[in-house]
Every structure is written in C-alpha cells, then in structure tokens.
Structure 1
Amino acid sequence: MASSTLPLVFIVRRQNPKLLVPSKPTPHELKQLSDIDDQEGLRFQVPAIMFYKNNPSMEGKDPVSVIREALAKALVFYYPFAGRLVEGPNRKLSVDCTAEGVLFIEADANVEIHWLGDTVGPWCPYLEELLYDVPGSDGIVTRFSCGGFTFAIRLNHTMSDGSGLIQFLNTIAEFSQQPQTKITPSVPPIWQRHLLSARQPPSITCSHHEYDQALAGAAATTTTTTAKETTTIDRSFFFGPKEIRAIRNHLPHHHHSTTATTFELLTACIWQCRTRALCLAPDEIVRVSCKVNGRGNKHGLNLPPGYYGNVFTYPTAMTKAGMLSMLPLGYALELVKKAKAQVSEEYFRSVADLTVIKGRPLYTLEANKDYIVSDTTRAGFDKVDFGWGKPVFGGVPRATSLISVFVCFRDIRGGEDGIVVPICLPELVMDRFEQELKKMIQEPVEHPPNHKPISML
C-alpha cells in the first residue's frame, strides 16, 4: 500500500502508565483456567489496535476519559482481567483475582489521522509508537491532533481468544456510549472454564499433527527448532474482490461443485506461495495450522453465551514441500479443508486431554516448515464503537515469522474494502514470496471448456 506524505517527525507524548482498578469492589478469589486456555502456545501477550476518525457529534468529549471510565466499569464484570496469573502444580494456570488493576496509558500524537492516509492498518510505519510495548500494559489511548485517536490493548492470550476479547471491548463500548444509564453488559460474562478442562481420566483420541513432537515424546522446551540468525521483515498484503477472484480462477473444474471459504482459499494460496519462496528440500514436511473456532452449535461444545475463554484449536494440514510447490492450488486447498473438517467436540476434548497428559506442550514449530493462520475478519474488531463510530481499522496489527492473522480492511479514502494479511519472512524470501503471489493474483489463467469461476463466498 502506498503511503501518504507524512511530517518529518512523528512524536507521541505519553504520560506515565497508571493502574486502573474496577470502579466497584470485586470478589477476591482464585479461578482456574481451562486446559484449552493454559497451553504453552498461548502464554503470550496478544495486541490489538483500533483507529478512529474525529466525529463532530462527539465535540467536547475526550476519548481518553470516556474509555478510561468505561474500562473501569467493565472490569467490575470482567474482574479476572484486573487480577494476576499464577502457576500451580503441573504448570496449571489460575487467576488470582486481586483487583490490582490494568495498566492504562494516556498519550498524544502530533499528527492528524488523515495524514497517515492509506497506511492506517498493519502497515502503519508508527505502529510501535501507538502500541507502545510496556510489559504487562493493557490499554493505551493516543489522541491525534484532529480529534481522532487510537485505542490499543494487550491481553495475555491464556485469558481469552479473539471472540472473548471482542466481548470485553463491546462491554467497554456500551459503557462508553451510555455512561449514565448502562448498569450491566448486554452479554453478561461467563467464566465456567471447567467446561473445557480435561476429562477424568484424560485420553488422546484424535490425531493432532500440530503437536507431533510432543506426541513423539520431545520435551516442551525443545519443540521449537531455532533457525540461523537472519533478518526478517514485515509486509502486509491486501486481498480485495479482484484478487480473490483471480486466486479462485486457479482452481480446477471439479472445485465448482464444492464450497471453499475465502479463509480456506487464502490460506492455501499463501501457504503454497510461502513454501515455494522458502526453497525447501522436496522431501521436507511442511505444515499449516488453521485456527478453528468452537463457538456456536457446529462442533457440539454447547458453551453458554457470554463464555469468554479460549474456544479454538489449530488442526494441521501437512505434506511434502515438493508436492505443495509443484501441484496446483487445488491440492493445497483440499489439504486445508480436510484438516478443518476433522474438528469436532471430541477433537476439542482430545486437545484438552493431550495438554494434561503431555505437560502443556508447545505446538510443533519448526523454523520455516510450520505456519499458523488465524482468521479475525468476522471477530468484530472493525465494529467496536466507543461513540465515535466504527474504526477505520481494527484488529491484530502484525505477524511473526510463524503466525499471520487475517484482518478486515476498510479504505479510509473510500476505496475497496478487503482482507489484509501481515506476513513476516527473511528479506530474500519475502521478495520471492511477492513474486509467487503476483503469479496467483495477476497472471491470466487458461481454463478448460465450460469452466466458470465460482463466486466469492
């Protein structure tokens, strides 16, 4: 994405972080996380950021004050967020609900949001200034000189997934919009983490290639293969209706009678392009793990509305690098669809049991060979309204070398909306990845007779 002309110096002046506590007294108790929650692979801080334009109807309202007061009210109901994680026997995580509070930072930037132009989003060159990584920080509101602002939040992933975080953010939004009349959240939060705890006795009943090394007996501390020191770069790639149609045109005729979601299609495409760009040996095994949400009735977990813990797992597709690189896109797509289709209630129960049996192992993450994708395009980050309207961008803003998060993109200048996928790769690999991706979205494809590209889902 092209950037607009920006001032020579982008300055953010931050006040000192302050602990923000619930606005009313809350229970002091110890609450256990589920065995889906406290996996090793979720023990990190996940960031999210939302950009808001100035809204003349909010003239005189300070977003810092509005969000700070609403957050304190929301913490009354989500009081575990104001506590502290503690580790017990067998590395089991619990929350000590101490009401110590969350760190909150007030900040001001010396620019107007429209000066950022089409760099609003994961490609924003000033993300680090707006996220401001303070260990343990939970919220930072940065005002722009025009009246717009950003709200960035960090949350330990063991506490909630994207859906749970959105539920919390929407509660803050409700209290922001109705500070005098709102008494309780529209969706009351439900803890009940025992619903996704391991069975007694635990039993691994499904195949879990995402934990292959753990199942083979490797220690949790040795499951990650460290690559040689190399410089990686971050780039974000936009997929609008035109790009998605072009990718679908690479599918063979027999796919016309099947359904493939946009997430499945993009995952297959990016996995294939990434593998080609890495130039791995043909016999190397490569994997892609896709986040599958277990909420709703599809998988039979029957969790109560308002449950805000982690309700997802990462089924894995795997194949040889040579086959993935040489065969058509339809091959990669079938692998992705097959991996996702295996998820059921029993699959979730088996993951929880594996976590306990194998000592809460990390996912199998071998440098270059493994890749994780998560779809947040329907999570709702782009709809959270604190009174200033919907954000021009909302979502997880960046990738790691092993993880990409799909996010919605709304063009601030009225152009096409679509999906943005941040990618992190070594510089030379990134160049090759871009060339492979261009072949998928720009080159014309010759189709057999009677071929009609299926519509975008």
Structure 2
Amino acid sequence: MSVVTKSSPVLVCPSSEPAGSGKGNGSHINLSSVDNCYASLPVTSLLVFDQPISDPVETIKRALAQALLHYRPMAGRIAEDRRITCTGEGVSFVGASASCALPELVPTSTVPIDDLALQYPAPMCRRGDPLLLMQVTEFSGGGFTVAVTWNHAVADGKGMAQFLQAIGELARGMPAPSVLPVRSPEKAGPLPVVPAPTVAMQRVILRFATRGKAALDVTVPWSLIRRVKADCGGCTVFEAVAAVLWRCRTRAVISDPEAAAPLSFPCNLRGPMGTQDGYYGNCFAVQLVHATAGSVANGDIRDLVNLIRRAKETVLSNGNGSNGDRKRGTCPRLYNVLAVGSWRNLGFDAADFGHGTPSRVVCHMERVAGPCCIACPPCKGKDGVDVMSLCVRPEHVDAFLAELASM
C-alpha cells in the first residue's frame, strides 16, 4: 500500500499571470533537429534531499512560478506545426507527503517511482500535455524529494539541471537566476544538425520502444574505476565506467563473438560548438562506436577505453556532430547496442532549494529505444559510481550482475 499522499495537480504559471490564463507572451520557439529527434520522449529526474527546508512544497511552488517568468517556454505547449508556443498555460505541479522517513530510493524500494514523481498519462508525451511535470514530496522526520518529468523536446539533461538550479536560487531569495536562459535556436549560436532521415528514424524507434528491460540500481566500485584508470595510464571516470559496463553486458547477453556489439553515448556540444551560455534546448550528439562481441568481451580493457576516447575526440568530425563512428552496411540488432550516458556533470547535483544540494539524483526512463545505463551524480553513502540500468532483459540479470561482481 502506498505511503505517499498526493494533492490534486495544479497548473503553476509564470508568477505575473493568473493560473491557467494561457496568456504567455505569444511567442513561438522553433525546434532544432536534435529537439525533433526526442520530441514526445518523457524523462524523469528525482532529486533526494536529506536535509529539510521550511514548507518545501509551497517554497518550491512559489520559486517555480518565478522561474517560469525567465523560462516561458517551459510553461508552453507543443503546437501542431511542431513549435513550442509560449502560451503560459503552466507546469503541472503536485505536492505530496510521505508517512515514512526518507528511504534509500532504489528501484526495488517500497516507495515506487510513480509515487514520488508525476507521470504523463500516455507512454509518450502528447500534443497539449504540459512540457513539465513536477512533484515535491515531504517525508516524515525531515527530508524531501523533487521530481521533474519533462518532454525531451523542451530541454536536454543539461538544460533541465540549469532550470532546477534557477528554481533553487529563487527559492533561496535571489532576485533572478544567475544564468541568463536562452531557448531560441536562432539566438543560441552553433547547434548540432541532424539530417532529416535520421530524425525520422529516431522518432520511429522511440515510438516502438518498450519497457522490456529490467530496472537495476548498480554500483561500479571506486576500487575498480581506479584500477581501470591505472591500467589505461589515466582516463576519465566516464570512460572507465562505460568500458566496464560495455564489457560486462556483452559477456552476459551476446554469445556469438562475431556479432556486432556497439556502444553509443551522448556528448554535450555546447562548449565544442561555441553555443551561447545559458542555452537549455537539446545540444548533444550521439556517438556510435563499433566493435565485435569477441573484442569487447575478451580484449584488453585499454582498447575499449581508447575506442571511447577516440569517439569523444572526433565528435565534431562527422556531420557537425550528428554522427558517431559509423560503418556502412552494418545494422546491429537493437538489443546488441548498449547506450551509456552520464548525468554526473550536468548540474542536477548543484540544485539547492535552501539547505544544501541533493544526497542523491536518480534518473528514471519509462521508455527506452534500446539497452541503456545512466551514471548518476555522486550518491551519499555509495562507494562508487551509482548507475541506473535498463540494459538487460530479466533473463540476463543474473549473468550481468555476476560479470560486474567478477570484475
């Protein structure tokens, strides 16, 4: 039985406008080609705060209304012409209370993610749905969570983290966000360009995405990460974690050594492309690294790290960042492709609503086009990198976990 009691959803509008007025400022925001790739895809981020603040529901609700004055597209809707219309209709907001102490929030928790986060009624966001849903849950004995579920068309992870930081600044009494937000692609400067056929293909893939993967919360220990970094003569935490997950999953699910076992990962392109500071739309490219299952499962871990590193270094070399390391004539099974992302440097862990930053940030994905893992920001009490995984089917869970344990 649920221990969370929710209020009825309300629409929070920019603070100078009546709730539900639909006034906005009448402007339209064109979607970039990357926005269009992921339009209608819902993503949830859950921020866990173990230090209480005074009346978190009302404090954050007021700050949200103030933030929407600066981030008007967030309160808008997707129009029929596939633009964001700044209608000012608002963000759907729910306040909630939990009759238990703040738990260790893992997918197997007695408090499911649906109790802590507001979700869209359909598997994919529909035209007319709010672009952002927010729930603030206060726990007995102190502590609270802030969950945001958003239409990927309006922001990528970096952009949503920027928005949450702005809400936190306003909740702490700052007169305006410290970062001036930019949403119009025309004002942002250089952005990645995805060819129209690729946009269409990505949208078809997402439309047929399923929930058939097991939700796992795994930890890649620091001792293992340090060992990989030492073996490679130094590499980033992401490169080490991605190489470990790539190897373990390949060993667990692909038996044919000649089968394709590619790795994909997103790269933030704001810095490399010189995009204007404060842009919160989608600004990343997905790199694809090809390898056979045998080379991933049995080769030197240094070779895997070098493949990942080389793909990162060439992020701008193909189609203005729109393509990764692709080989013509190859079309691997979708289940063979592992996607690994990282939220560690996006800024979710910098959000502060009045008494410090979150003790944990959890990424939740209802629908994924293929197997994926997300490395989350540092988690209090975890001796390693916390990874939210939807990368194996239930029948491969034990083998995947055994491979991780063996490393």
Shorter-chain TM-score bucket reads 0.7 to 0.9
2:297 to 310, 318, 325: 325
Q: Which residue of 2 aligns with 1:409?
A: 378
Question: 1: distance between equivalents of 2:395 and 2:312?
Answer: 31
Q: Which residue of 2 aligns with 1:20?
A: 12
Give yes or no for the alignment of 1:99 onto 2:88.
yes
2:242 to 267, 291, 306: 267
Q: Which residue of 2 aligns with 1:11?
A: 3
Q: Which residue of 1 aligns with 2:29?
A: 31
Q: Which residue of 2 aligns with 1:302?
A: 274
Give yes or no for the alignment of 1:378 onto 2:351.
no
User: Aligned-pair distance for 1:191?
Assistant: 2.1
2:253 to 268, 272, 278: 278
Identity, in percent, stands at: 28
Residues 144 and 224 (structure 1), Cα distance of their counterparts in 2 relative to 1, 3 Å cut: closer
Q: Which residue of 1 aligns with 2:287?
A: 315
1:288 to 258, 263, 284: 263
Q: Which residue of 2 aligns with 1:420?
A: 386
Residues 394 and 232 (structure 1), Cα distance of their counterparts in 2 relative to 1, 3 Å cut: closer
Residues 272 and 395 (structure 1), Cα distance of their counterparts in 2 relative to 1, 3 Å cut: same
Unmatched tracts of structure 1, length 5 or more: 1-8, 205-210, 353-363, 441-457
Question: 2: distance between equivalents of 1:435 and 1:237?
Answer: 12
Say what the alpha-carbon RMSD is for the aligned residues: 2.9
Residues 87 and 108 (structure 1), Cα distance of their counterparts in 2 relative to 1, 3 Å cut: same
User: Aligned-pair distance for 1:28?
Assistant: 1.0
Q: Which residue of 2 aligns with 1:169?
A: 164
Q: Which residue of 1 aligns with 2:322?
A: 351
1:150 counterpart SS class: strand
1:13 counterpart SS class: strand
One-letter identity of the residue aligned with 2:379: R
Q: Which residue of 2 aligns with 1:450?
A: none
Q: Is the 8 A contact 2:360 2:377 kept in 1?
A: yes
- CA deviations on 1:290-343 (whole Å, 9 max, x unpaired) are 1111122xx2x2222111111111111111112222222122222211211111
Question: 1: distance between equivalents of 2:313 and 2:84?
Answer: 34
TM-score by length of structure 1 reads 0.75
In the comparison of the two structures, how many residue pairs are matched?
Answer: 379
Q: Which residue of 2 aligns with 1:437?
A: 404
Q: Which residue of 2 aligns with 1:207?
A: none
Question: 1: distance between equivalents of 2:357 and 2:157?
Answer: 18
Question: 1: distance between equivalents of 2:202 and 2:159?
Answer: 27
Q: Is the 8 A contact 2:375 2:388 kept in 1?
A: yes
Q: Which residue of 2 aligns with 1:340?
A: 312
Question: 2: distance between equivalents of 1:427 and 1:248?
Answer: 31
Q: Is the 8 A contact 1:224 1:366 kept in 2?
A: no
Pair member with larger Rg: 1
User: Aligned-pair distance for 1:348?
Assistant: 6.0
User: Aligned-pair distance for 1:416?
Assistant: 4.9
1:62 to 55, 75, 97: 55
TM-score by length of structure 2 reads 0.84
Question: 2: distance between equivalents of 1:348 and 1:395?
Answer: 33
Residues 261 and 81 (structure 1), Cα distance of their counterparts in 2 relative to 1, 3 Å cut: same
Question: 2: distance between equivalents of 1:365 and 1:87?
Answer: 34
2:33 counterpart SS class: coil
